[in-house]
Structures are given as structure tokens and as C-alpha cells.
Amino acid sequence: MTFKALWATKPKDSILVELKQLDDEQLMPGDVTIAVEYSTVNYKDGLAISGRAPVIQTFPLIPGIDLAGVVEASSNPAFQAGDRVVVNGWALSQTHHGGYAQRARVCGEWLVKLPDTFSAKQAMAIGTAGYTAMLSVLALEQGGITPDKGDILVTGASGGVGSIAIALLSKLGYRVLASTGRLAEATYLKSLGAAEVLDRSILSAPGAPLGPEKWAGAIDTCGGNTLVNVLAQTGYRGTVTACGLAQSMDFPASMLPFILRNITLAGIDSVNAPQQARITAWERLAQDLDLEKLGLTTQEITLQQVPEVAQQILEGKVRGRTLVNVNA
């Protein structure tokens, strides 16, 4: 059986991504074969396709860290033909073929059965970005940050993680502050549930090691000076989750927020998170995500458009979530 896929090679020093017609013999080992319906474009996909970070570790490879579709064949007893499934992270787009294809063969241990609430299209409107946002919300809850404790700040608010995080937090009753470098998106962010929109410039430059207490917790997608300033202005016994490095992977921080205010910095890993954490996150997404707001975050593209959009997402020009219809 032949199928369409994006095929990444590295003939010299740069990565070349082309739309190819492949066959099942080019799929990688796995115990579950999936007819893919949708994938998505995340910041990590932009890093992978551009080569700005060594995400892809073996060539040639089909990129795409997410996929959703229907099981066609399985030798794994946990799955059978017809099951609707989603895969986020694991080895996809690193050492194993990913979601930018009409077919995939993967390890059953990577799969989560899709909640009945979601179609494959909605699952990829969520994707790794939304699943990461949910893991971050769960970490805030585990830190004891309830809506009555105070405001929650979301940085990189107009991106995929930020958009879904705002929608989730607002539905759960939190008052959300949205930090963005794209103030023209203020109406969009408020439609998702943000109470206030802040210019990212107030957080992105070097600041004092300790500042006034402005929020009870935060979800940070930026790293660098932004994360340092977020911590410096978090209230006593607050929790901040770190799940991105859109500004920088550096962390030029002080110990003062941790010692004087007992702040918790919680790292969020979506790639290798244990299966139960993934199942819990998807169950909570089914319960807590407003599907109308999810629709506001989404645009849809074809496989052929992925390289262009991947570059745009690195330049901060993409709002919300980008779906990839692999069959279009």
C-alpha cells in the first residue's frame, strides 16, 4: 500500500523536506498500524524541520511529533482494528517516523485511546501543545494553586500551549493574565478567557531577583529572562510550570524566590511522560476544555504547507493551533 508523507533528508548541512509517495515497507517497526487522519504543527516541529535544534536524530525520517487516527492492524492486545487513538511525542520525529503521513506504525505502548468527546481533528487541534497545557494545569493543582489563591500568568499566550492553557484555566475558574508580544491578539486572548493582556516586554528583559508578588502561579513557555522574572513576581508558596524555551534555554536566575517565598518550579515533559499521566491529561481535557474555544484557536493546512508554517511558528507569526489534514 502506498501513501503520502513528508520525507526529511539531510543531504549536506541543511534539512530537506519533500512530499513523497511511500509504501508500507518504508514504515518502521511497531505492533500497531494506524491510518492517520490528522497531525499538527508545534514549536518543536518547527525546530525539527528547520534544523535549528537536533530534534531529528536519524535520516531519512517522516517528521511530526503528533498524530491521530484509526487502528488498522494490531498485534498488541490492548488495541484492535477500529480503535481511535492519539500519539504525542515519544520517539516520533526523533528516531521514529512521525505524523506527517497518511500511515504510521508505532509501539502500542505509545498510544492513548481517544476519549469519545473528541474527533481526530479535535484531538490534533489540541495536540502536544494542548496536552502540555493540561499537564501544566495539573502541576498547578498538585502545587495547591486553586482559583481562590490568586491570578495565574500565562506567557507566550497567543501560541499553542498558551491558547489552550488560557481556555482551560478560565473554564476552571482561574483569573488569567496573558503575556504576549502580539498585543494585536488581545481580543483573541480575551475570547479564550484572559482577564488581562500584558506586553511581554515587561518580563523579557533582565530584572530584579525579587519583585512584588503579582500572581499565585504561572505557565511559562518562554524560558530565559521571562521565566526568571515570572518567578521573581510569584506569590508566596506559588507554583510556576516551565514547558518551553521560545525566548531562551538559559536560566539566569536567583535563588531568592525559592528560599524567601518557597516557590516551586515544576518542569513539564510531554515527550516521555508516563502512560498514566497521559491518560489523565486526555481525560481532563475531555472534561475541562471548551470545544467552542478550541475552535477559535485552530487553522487547517495540508502536508505540503507544513514547512512554510513550521518556519512561521518559529518566527512567532502563528496564532493558536495548526491542524494538518494528511489526506487533503
Interatomic CA distance for residues 168 and 157, integer angstroms: 13
Q: What CATH number does the domain located at 2-114+298-325 have?
A: 3.90.180.10
For residue 322, with 0-12 CB atoms within 10 Å meaning exposed, 13-18 middle and 19 or more buried, which class applies? Answer: buried
How does pLDDT run across 251-287, given as a tens digit for each residue?
A: 999 999 999 999 999 999 999 999 999 999 999 999 9
pLDDT at 62: 98
Interatomic CA distance for residues 261 and 37, integer angstroms: 47
How does pLDDT run across 76-117, given as a tens digit for each residue?
A: 999 999 999 999 999 999 999 999 999 999 999 999 999 999
pLDDT at 1: 83
Q: What CATH number does the domain located at 128-267 have?
A: 3.40.50.720
pLDDT band at 307 (very low <50, low <70, confident <90, very high): very high
Which residue, among 111, 108, 17, 3, has the nearest Cα to 56 in the 3D structure?
17
Contacting residues for 308 by C-beta, under 8 A, at least 6 apart? none
Which residue, among 236, 211, 264, has the nearest Cα to 149 in the 3D structure?
236
Cell numbers standing for residue 42:
508545534
pLDDT at 235: 98
- Tell me the DSSP string of 208-252: -SS----EEEEEES--HHHHHHHHHTEEEEEEEEE---SS-S---
pTM for this prediction:
0.94
Question: What are the start-end ranges of the E strands in 43-149?
Answer: 66-74, 84-88, 103-106, 112-113
Contacting residues for 12 by C-beta, under 8 A, at least 6 apart? none
- Please check whether residue 167 is in contact with residue 290, taking contact to mean a CB–CB distance below 8 angstroms: yes
- For the segment 220-235, the average pLDDT, to the nearest whole number, is 98
The CATH 3.90.180.10 domain(s) of the chain lie at: 2-114+298-325
Quote the mean pLDDT of the chain. 96
pLDDT at 150: 98
The CATH 3.40.50.720 domain(s) of the chain lie at: 128-267
